[in-house]
């Protein structure tokens, strides 16, 4: 029977010494989500099966180890292969073999995940939830399953047991891997404030997927729990679930305002059958005038910003470690955990490596959660302690830190980061983000000690993850440049400019690097494509493949106007990340027709005075009739998460 050590009471974020002390403690507890103590970490020494019957990836993964069988290559999430032919001596010979045009748009570009490759087929999911199967040699479309349901991303698919698994913003699903036909679908969200935006993890005939407190039309708006579901791979029936919010639907005492938790990425699974969850942040972010500095959710807000170890067969919690207590800066600990075994003080030890938007990487002992080391990367400024009353610059901001997956090879951890600041106070964020001024980098860290071995600073934010082929580590930046570095020395081996920005992650299949240029970046005319760079590219040029046109779903199209409304008319053009209005004021209260056209490259909407357009894909137009009954200043914005903060907001004046 587990025993408990005495509880230690703590204050909020910023009491660094006390938090550091808590990190070193392991406080015993047993149970599932919502039943553990409020201590900083916990462990239950329940028996864990060490038999080979648990913690097993689908059999197709081992059979396709020479390709890229999973989102992060393997069940340990290493994102590293030694079975590719690409290495430091030949990487400079990579050239384009084929391109697959990515059409449509969603809230953060058209693709923000990793393609997977098995049995000569490339599988991918775009941010409208559509799934494609491509011929690995030519990029030609084999089949597609059209959902046309916008998703926040990062999403993505998983292959196992003869099926393709994925999710829309509301449902987990399974498709037939041969033809893309739907096998099963299961709704997991409980209300319109929740969503799903991760690629599933597969193990032991189980599909693991999590909800999050957000979707393309609502993000951290209250009443949103992040709940992890373990589903039967054949039927989709639930085996167990784990709420990443300790008090569940009570949501830290104010469910109408608060939300939090959930997963962005597939968790790691080890040979003991333990599942390691990287849990996202609590909300609301920063605070509000009514609830400054996150006061609507007092306390530590467990299990947000935490690494949580579960029994993969039952969903019972074994231990947890919270990196940030009472997070008010959107510092998710969401990067997929990586498991490995290496010498620690001369003893072979299984460890778990994790990171997040606080711009730090952490190492913990897998058996009990003991903290081993912490390593900051990138720029840090005003990133701890209570938020002030007056706005201040914060590094990393809520679109900075470590945003995308790390890689591990030869006991070296590769960590991508983004230096993009926010301006905020205890009552909320002020202003937007200047992506042009954002910078990034990639650090190589000794996984045993946390020591930085080498690092490269990049001219734009690194949203491109780290991916290793033998002695080469790949990453990319938001501006669309792909980089290849020597894993040992950090020497730059190869760079290539893609035809659009990059916020997705590559896959390596033998002699081929697959990477998507799928967000705007800073290109005036971006070309969204999945690109195959090969050591054996044809000398006569390449062919761009494309999917046939798919019908646009109602969630991403604008209804036709049914009548012409009398009164003032204001033309509104919106793109990344701005609004241009033909006028920002009218002389007196009246009925106004706003004609909004999306001239950008991703989906946007327009909201003012309690009314808003549908979410429009690029090139679409919608009319919005709004009655202003009195003088005043009326804020307008794009409701897509992050877009208003990036600049899509303003004020319309009625004189």
Instruction: Tell me, letter by letter, the H, E, C secondary structure of 492-518.
Output: EEEEEECCCECCCCCEEECCEEEEEEC
List alpha helices for 66-141, DSSP H: none
Backbone dihedral angles phi then psi of residue 22, each to the nearest 5 degrees: -65, -35
Query: Pairing state of beta strands 95-101 and 543-546?
Result: parallel
Is-contact 296 284, C-beta < 8 A?
yes
All structural domains of the chain, each given as residue ranges with its CATH number in brackets, are 59-546 (2.140.10.10), 557-654 (2.60.40.420)
Q: Which of 367-371, 439-443, 535-539 has the lowest mean pLDDT?
A: 535-539
pLDDT at 107: 54
pLDDT at 650 over 60: yes
Is-contact 172 186, C-beta < 8 A?
yes
Q: Give one word for 396, left, alpha or beta, with left for phi > 0 and alpha for psi -120 to 50.
A: beta
The span from the CA of 358 to the CA of 356, in Å, is: 5
pLDDT at 372 over 70: yes
Neighbouring residues of 114: CB distance < 8 A, sequence distance ≥ 6: 68, 71, 72, 156, 199, 465, 504, 505, 506, 507
Give mean pLDDT, residues 500-520.
96
The span from the CA of 243 to the CA of 437, in Å, is: 38
pLDDT at 577: 78
Grade residue 616 by pLDDT with cuts at 50, 70 and 90: confident
Per residue in 9-66, pLDDT (tens digit) is 223 233 333 333 333 333 333 333 333 333 344 433 333 433 458 999 999 999 999 9
Neighbouring residues of 35: CB distance < 8 A, sequence distance ≥ 6: 317
The span from the CA of 317 to the CA of 282, in Å, is: 20
Is-contact 475 502, C-beta < 8 A?
no
Q: Whole-prediction pTM value?
A: 0.83
pLDDT at 131 over 60: yes
Closest to 227 in 3D by CA, of 192, 176, 279:
279
The span from the CA of 504 to the CA of 414, in Å, is: 16
Neighbouring residues of 274: CB distance < 8 A, sequence distance ≥ 6: 48, 55, 309, 310, 311, 312, 318, 366
């Amino acid at each position: 029977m587990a025993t408990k050590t005495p509880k230690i009471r703590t204050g909020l974020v910023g009491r660094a010494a006390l938090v550091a002390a808590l990190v070193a403690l392991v406080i015993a507890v047993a149970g599932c989500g919502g039943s553990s103590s409020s201590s900083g970490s916990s462990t239950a020494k329940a028996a864990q099966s060490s038999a080979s019957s648990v913690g097993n990836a689908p059999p197709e993964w081992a059979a396709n180890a020479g390709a890229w069988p999973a989102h992060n290559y393997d069940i340990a999430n290493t994102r590293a292969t030694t079975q590719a032919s690409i290495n430091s001596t030949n990487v400079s010979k990579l050239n384009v073999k084929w391109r697959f045009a990515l059409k449509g748009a969603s809230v953060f570009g058209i693709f923000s995940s990793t393609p997977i490759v098995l049995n000569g087929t490339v599988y991918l999911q775009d941010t409208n939830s559509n799934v494609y199967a491509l011929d690995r040699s030519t990029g030609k479309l084999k089949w597609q399953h059209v959902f046309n349901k916008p998703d926040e991303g990062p999403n993505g698919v998983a292959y196992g047991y003869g099926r393709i698994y994925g999710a829309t913003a509301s449902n987990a699903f399974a498709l037939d891997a041969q033809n893309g036909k739907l096998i099963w679908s299961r709704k997991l969200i409980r209300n319109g404030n929740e969503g799903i935006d991760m690629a599933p993890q597969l193990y032991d005939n189980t599909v693991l997927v999590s909800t999050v407190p957000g979707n393309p039309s609502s993000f951290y708006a209250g009443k949103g729990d992040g709940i992890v579901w373990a589903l039967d791979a054949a039927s989709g029936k639930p085996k167990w679930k784990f709420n990443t919010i300790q008090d569940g639907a009570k949501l830290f005492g104010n469910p109408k305002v608060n939300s939090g938790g959930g997963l962005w990425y597939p968790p790691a699974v080890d040979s003991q059958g333990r599942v390691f969850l990287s849990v996202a942040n609590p909300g609301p972010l920063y605070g509000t005038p009514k609830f400054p500095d996150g006061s609507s959710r007092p306390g530590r807000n467990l299990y947000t910003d935490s690494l949580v170890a579960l029994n993969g067969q039952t969903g019972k919690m074994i231990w947890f470690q919270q990196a940030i207590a009472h997070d008010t800066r959107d510092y998710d600990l969401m990067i997929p955990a990586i498991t490995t075994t290496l010498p620690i003080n001369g003893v072979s030890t299984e460890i778990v490596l994790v990171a997040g938007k606080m711009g730090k990487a952490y190492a913990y002992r897998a058996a009990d959660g003991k903290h081993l080391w912490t390593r900051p990367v990138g720029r840090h400024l005003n990133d701890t302690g209570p938020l002030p009353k007056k706005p201040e610059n914060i590094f990393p901001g809520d679109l900075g830190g470590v945003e995308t997956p790390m890689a591990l090879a030869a006991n070296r951890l590769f960590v991508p980061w983004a230096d993009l600041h926010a301006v905020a106070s205890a009552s909320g964020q002020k202003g937007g983000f200047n992506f042009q001024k954002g910078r990034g980098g990639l650090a190589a860290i000794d996984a045993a000690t946390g020591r930085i071995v080498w690092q490269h600073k990049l001219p734009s934010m690194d949203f491109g993850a780290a991916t290793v082929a033998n002695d080469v580590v790949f990453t990319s930046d938001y501006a669309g440049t792909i980089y290849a570095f020597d894993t040992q020395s950090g020497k730059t081996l190869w760079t290539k400019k893609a035809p659009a920005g990059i916020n997705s992650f590559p896959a390596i299949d033998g002699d081929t690097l697959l990477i998507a240029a799928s967000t705007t970046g800073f290109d005036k005319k971006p070309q969204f494509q999945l690109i195959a760079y090969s050591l054996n590219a044809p000398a006569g040029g390449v062919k761009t493949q494309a999917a046939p046109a798919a019908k646009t779903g109602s969630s991403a199209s604008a209804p036709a106007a049914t009548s012409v409304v009398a009164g003032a008319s204001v033309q509104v053009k919106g793109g990344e990340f701005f609004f241009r209005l033909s006028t920002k004021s009218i002389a007196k209260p009246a009925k106004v027709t706003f004609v909004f056209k999306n001239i950008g490259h991703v989906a946007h909407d327009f909201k003012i005075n309690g009314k808003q357009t549908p979410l429009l894909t690029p090139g679409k137009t919608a009319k919005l009739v709004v009655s202003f009954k009195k003088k005043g200043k009326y804020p307008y914005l794009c409701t897509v998460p992050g877009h208003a903060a990036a600049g899509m907001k303003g004020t319309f004046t009625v004189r």
